[in-house]
Structure 1
Amino acid sequence: MEDDSHRPETGTPPPAFWRTPADPVVASPNERELLDLVRRHGRMSRADLVRATGLAAQSVMRLVDELRDRGLLHLGETLPREGRGKPSQAVELVPGHACTIGFSVTTDSVSSAIVDFAGNVLGQRHEQTPDLDRSKLVAVLRQHMQTLLHTHKVSPDRLFGLGVGITGFFVGEGRRVNAPSPLDDLALADLDELLTRELGHPVWLDNDGTVAAVGESMLGVGRWARSFVYLYFSLGLGGGLIVNGRCVRGAHGNAGEVAGMLSIPGIEAPTLELLREMLASDGLAFADIGAMLAQFNPHWPACDRWLERARPAMSLIVSASVALLDPDAIVYGGRLPRALAERLIAGSTIDNKPRRGRKRPEPRLVPAEAPSDATAIGAAALPFKEHFFL
């Protein structure tokens, strides 16, 4: 199941990565399936790829050889084979085939990450950005891009593209995001076109919850959970959906906006902005969420009160997620500190009444596992996910 209704694509991939000079596609469906298998397993033998894909052995051999000739795969050490048959060389992704840079744009900061073709995070940057407008956004992203490429000695011609995750929701008019204040100058703008033009590379743009879910699917929980709901805690409460390993965006790109289910019963959303306001009432004032997280202390008395107020919302959200999607996992992520995530999970209750002494299977409730800034890494994963992998 792949959701094509709202793909975050602008422009076309750089010609250097096309399958042929006349074909602006970087990988066929069979090639993407094979590449994704190698990505998820790290390395596989050609015999393993035959069994996993169900393709004829000759087809797999041909695909591997063509991808090797194009520089996407290489053959590594010989792998032992169970049972009869000759040992087979390991098939692995070539890390240096391409790289991407991802950006996370929040109400108070910009983070970035550079990721290679094998999913290795080469480096990251973070910068507080109060009063961010369009011109400053372009300047900050350009500086991050140039610094990451120079620091990690990556040639610009190996840059496949840029991913951007921004807080807000889509309004059904192309890639226009309705961002919250203080990002007023970025709201409802054609940011993908602006950034593609100003930065000189194709841009894939999506909301932060979906982008973080993509990153989690490639570098975190997605390594063991094929279907999960990602809950994104920040200024607001959003999320993203991964079903059978694929991102589901919905008709307008807003699938996973879990806070929308709280207004009818009148339940408040447990946002990090709410925690910041509660700390202020205790005499601990922070200029923004970033400043609060930089000094986060799980033993603040306000955390206990926040967790208590969060319990009704989280129990409703996880119960609805289980009823609608039956996922393998529900991931507590975004900018939520792990210590707070673990306590929030402990207080979340799934409505699951037994029948004949049996309950429905329940998902695992887990903190995010993707390294460091999930949104920046997820944004870097977007171009690869959309064109090379499943």
Structure 2
Amino acid sequence: MLASIKNNQLLRSAFTVSKGDKLLPDNPRAIVREVFWNMNTTQSKIAEQTQIPQQTVSRLVKGLIEQGVLRVNEEKGESSTATKSSKGKSASGIAPNPKFAYSFGLSVLLDAISVAVLDFTGEVVDTLILELGDMGIESVLRKAVAMANELIDTHAIPTDRILGIGVGISGFFSSTDGKMNTHHAIEEWADINIAETVAEAFQLPTWVVNDGTGAAAGEGIAGVGRQYKNFVYLFVSSAFGGGLVNNGEMIRGTHGNAGELGDMLPAKLYSHPNLQLLQRILSKHGVDVPSIYKLNEIFDPNWPGVDEWIYKVQDSFDLVATASSALLDSQAIIIGGHIPTQLAEKVIPRIDVYAQFRRGAKRPLPEIVCAKVTRSPVAVGAATLPLREWFL
């Protein structure tokens, strides 16, 4: 059984708990947040960005380094680890200490679960995925705890360094009480307090998001989303959904359902761009795809039926991309989920984002790019939740 952070004296002793919802007071928290998003930064840049006085920054950074939260990168000859100070001298870069803490993520999909672990820089340490015939609560949690313990043993992760666990699950929040109206394939998870149920099994602080929001959160930290402050994430999996990130933060909405992009597409008018439809079309053409979770490894863009799927879902991609661009003025639209990268690369050039043409120009349009996190994207995203909640 995993160690609970409630009993985690090592982490608790490293911080002054503030307001009951943080591991750090405001100023150290702001410094850790700045260093996390801007790896190998300097004290002068931290002071500039946080508006904390330079002397205070110097004192707090020194303390955070002594506690092992941050570290100084001083590798020779690597431009990524050192910057030039205003006086032209080489300045060592300050970065998070990857071994300071770890966070876990669990995805509960329609017919599979995955567990991911991230280090304190937001890098993916490892993931495990398991397809299941029984998606009931007892079955899922028993397997998930075993998978988490396997990752702990494999990577020698100290249990007193685990911040918590996030859960990404297929469904939508039915109210503000944290209960979800889940897909029929995971009926047993409907209308229960998922966070409390998972927390009891893992003995860890637990947070819950829907699968699309979770995948977007993961792409924002461990994927190409690091390059963009504002993006819309198209979650292409067994179903179609999405997630929204603004200024690096997840947009959850009133109930936690922001980013339900599939609801933009009335089923009688539009074919939803999901992988179940792709499987049916491929099967019609004699191509057997046993699992969407292995599709990225075996996908051939020349399979008969691939172009038919793209033709059927093209209008759906156009509508969602246009609406997202017009409503949110995002920097990027990221196509991810369990869609094979090669398929996303075929789709992207065909997406038409409508915009008025005036005085010889359109308004700025978002870049449309492929996701980088292609293995267990929901679990990876769920694993970012403890990092986001405690530190970011």
What TM-score does the superposition give when structure 2 sets the normalisation length? Answer: 0.90
Counterparts in 2 of 1:77 and 1:292: CA distance versus 1, 3 Å: closer
Matched, 1:208 2:211: yes
Give 1:133's aligned amino acid. G
- Is the Cα–Cα contact under 8 Å of residues 164 and 386 in structure 2 kept in the other structure? yes
Whole-Å Cα distance in 1 between the matches of residues 9 and 67 of structure 2?
A: 13
Q: Secondary structure at the match of 1:188?
A: coil
Counterparts in 2 of 1:253 and 1:104: CA distance versus 1, 3 Å: same
1:308-365 deviations in Å (ceiling 9; x for gaps): 0111111100000011000000000000100111111111101112111111000000
The 5 Å alignment of 1:1-390 reads 16-18=10-12, 19-20=15-16, 24=20, 25-77=22-74, 79=82, 81-84=84-87, 87-263=90-266, 266-286=269-289, 289-290=292-293, 295-370=298-373, 372-389=375-392
> May I ask how many residue pairs the two structures share in their alignment?
380
Give 1:219's aligned amino acid. A
Whole-Å Cα distance in 2 between the matches of residues 155 and 310 of structure 1?
A: 46
- Is the Cα–Cα contact under 8 Å of residues 211 and 378 in structure 1 kept in the other structure? yes
- Is the Cα–Cα contact under 8 Å of residues 223 and 373 in structure 2 kept in the other structure? yes
Counterparts in 2 of 1:316 and 1:71: CA distance versus 1, 3 Å: same
Whole-Å Cα distance in 1 between the matches of residues 335 and 18 of structure 2?
A: 44
- Is the Cα–Cα contact under 8 Å of residues 74 and 94 in structure 1 kept in the other structure? yes
- Is the Cα–Cα contact under 8 Å of residues 196 and 203 in structure 1 kept in the other structure? yes
1:14 offset after TM fit, Å?
A: 5.0
What TM-score does the superposition give when structure 1 sets the normalisation length? Answer: 0.90
Whole-Å Cα distance in 1 between the matches of residues 359 and 37 of structure 2?
A: 39
Query: Structure 1 unaligned runs (5+)?
Result: 1-10
Whole-Å Cα distance in 2 between the matches of residues 30 and 325 of structure 1?
A: 31
- Is the Cα–Cα contact under 8 Å of residues 40 and 92 in structure 2 kept in the other structure? no
Give percent identity, aligned residues only: 33
1:73-110 deviations in Å (ceiling 9; x for gaps): 12342945344276544322111111111122211211
Whole-Å Cα distance in 1 between the matches of residues 356 and 6 of structure 2?
A: 50
- Is the Cα–Cα contact under 8 Å of residues 338 and 374 in structure 2 kept in the other structure? no
Query: Structure 2 unaligned runs (5+)?
Result: 76-81
Counterparts in 2 of 1:267 and 1:12: CA distance versus 1, 3 Å: farther
Q: Secondary structure at the match of 1:131?
A: coil
Give 2:257's aligned amino acid. N
| Bigger mean CA deviation after superposition, 188-197 or 231-240 | 188-197
Whole-Å Cα distance in 2 between the matches of residues 80 and 117 of structure 1?
A: 22
- Is the Cα–Cα contact under 8 Å of residues 218 and 378 in structure 2 kept in the other structure? yes
Whole-Å Cα distance in 2 between the matches of residues 350 and 154 of structure 1?
A: 45
Whole-Å Cα distance in 1 between the matches of residues 200 and 315 of structure 2?
A: 45
1:35 offset after TM fit, Å?
A: 1.5
CA RMSD in angstroms comes to: 2.4
1:33 offset after TM fit, Å?
A: 2.8
- Is the Cα–Cα contact under 8 Å of residues 336 and 374 in structure 2 kept in the other structure? no
Give 1:205's aligned amino acid. V
The equivalent residue for 2:79 is: none
